[in-house]
Amino acid sequence: MIYPVILSGGSGSRLWPVSREQHPKQFLSLHRPGVSLLQETAQRLSNLEETGTPLIVCNEQHRFMVAEQMHQSGVSAQILLEPCARNTAPALALAALLAVQIDPDAELLSMPADHVIKDEQRFATAIKQGLGLAQQGKLVTFGITPSSAHTGYGYIKRGQADGEGFTVSTFVEKPDPEQARTYVENGNYLWNSGIFLFGANAYIDALRQYAPDILEACEHAFASRQQDLDFLRIKSEMFARCRSESIDYAVMEHTKEAVVVPMDPGWSDIGAWDALYDLTAEGEDGNAVHGDVITDNVRNSLIRSESRLVAAVGVDHLVIVETADAVLVADRNDVQATKHIVHRLKEEG
Ligand code: GDD
Ligand code: MG
């Protein structure tokens, strides 16, 4: 049976100033009023056949927000609390260790909490296609046809057809711009959607082979788990010693068992303000406007007001995001660098 795992421990710094450490992007309603990205992810599961209780892996600081949002959405989920962020390889290791206790043949469907998927039916079909491969011990990725040489994604070169998918001949996580351009021109590369399907035991085996230190640290940490009301808590000293690494670098770049199932469900990773612009821009002027905003002769811009009236005149290709205590003004091409501002603010205290 498929056990969905929603990874909800990221910080979302490129969506500052709306996304904050205490309230990162996955808990915000960014494109659908009243529905957060996490809630949208959890609701997506209702389109899948025969899934077990979903597991949400998140930072302990966010436990009440996760519980409250799941309650509001009517989704009953298990919530596993990390004492600190160690990226996705350890988060999934904890999920796998928990799943094999319930069902040694469990398949994990790992879903980031910050994706928008427009066509839920196509998504459900792709997962169905991947299931047979996962049951054969493969680590299944879902690949998206690239629309640009984006450097924030993993790139998968597809090989031979293998059942409902293709073997992965190369997996390169976050290539440099030059590499990314050659991959897109090549035509045989797909973006890694960041959604994975694999047997919990197959993932544990892959960690044992390619990142045994991560597996060992997580096994120790998992052994110290405690049920705390509705939460399963990992004790901090053990987990903090684990290396911080994503599944992409720790396992997917190395494994021989990877396969890719192409899918085209209108997928976006809401990584930065430009992605939200692409998703929500409309009309002749191509603006994406949210909240109390007034514009005159403004084009191709995202303007978002959270607390005050924002007026913009005669500007093009800008991102303007207003909150009660901070305002971001950026060229739409440069919004990835918003995270540098967040780092500087942290350093300067
Ligand atoms: N529980 C937990 N703990 N979750 C985490 C942690 C952590 O320490 N770190 C990140 N996450 C969650 C994030 O909240 C997000 O939902 C998901 O894991 C993926 O992390 P990102 O940090 O957003 O990864 P990325 O976007 O840079 O890259 C991944 O996704 C791309 C597609 O969106 C990779 O898989 C790329 O290869 C892929 O192309
Ligand atoms: Mg992401």
Residue 191 in contact with ligand 1 by CB distance below 6 A:
yes
Structure tokens at 342: 């967040």
What number does the ligand 1 atom closest to the CA of 247 have?
Answer: 35
User: Strands 78-82, 55-59: parallel, antiparallel or unpaired by DSSP?
Assistant: parallel
Query: 300: pLDDT confidence band, cut at 50, 70 and 90?
Result: very high
- Which of the four pLDDT bands, split at 50, 70 and 90, describes residue 113? very high
CB 301 within 8 A of CB 320: yes
From 145, 143, 155, select the one nearest 193 (Cα to Cα).
143
Task: Output helix, strand, coil percentages for the chain, rounded to the nearest 5.
Answer: 35, 30, 30
pTM of the complete model: 0.96
Nearest ligand 1 atom to the CA of 8 is 14
Q: Which ligand is nearest to the CA of 268?
A: 1
Question: What is the pLDDT confidence band of residue 296, given thresholds at 50, 70 and 90?
Answer: very high
Asked whether 87 lines ligand 1 (CB < 6 A), one says yes
| ipTM surpasses cut 0.85 | yes
Q: At residue 106, does pLDDT exceed 90?
A: yes
Write the DSSP symbol of residue 116.
E
Average pLDDT over residues 151-164: 94
90 lines ligand 1 (CB under 6 A): no
Instruction: State the maximum Cα–Cα separation within the chain, in Å, rounded to a whole number.
Output: 61
Q: How far is the CA of 88 from the centre of ligand 1 (A)?
A: 6
At residue 95 the predicted structure's pLDDT band, cuts being 50, 70 and 90, is very high
Those residues with Cβ within 8 angstroms of residue 147's Cβ, 6 or more apart along the chain or in another chain: none
86 alpha carbon – ligand 1 mean position (Å)? 11
**191 CA closest ligand 1 atom index:** 39
d(CA 191, CA 156): 6
- pLDDT averaged over the chain? 96
The residue length of the chain stands at: 349
What's the rounded Cα separation, in Å, for the pair 62 and 84?
11
**Closest CA relative to residue 158, chosen from 175, 147, 146:** 146
Does the beta carbon of 86 sit less than 6 angstroms from any atom of ligand 1?
yes
Q: Which ligand is nearest to the CA of 192?
A: 1
pLDDT attached to residue 19: 96
Report the percent of the chain where pLDDT is more than 70. Answer: 100
Segment 54-84, tens digit of pLDDT: 999 999 999 999 999 999 999 999 999 999 9
pLDDT per residue over 229-270, tens digit each? Answer: 889 999 878 899 999 999 999 999 999 999 999 999 999 999
Q: Is 73 in the pocket of ligand 1 (CB under 6 A)?
A: no
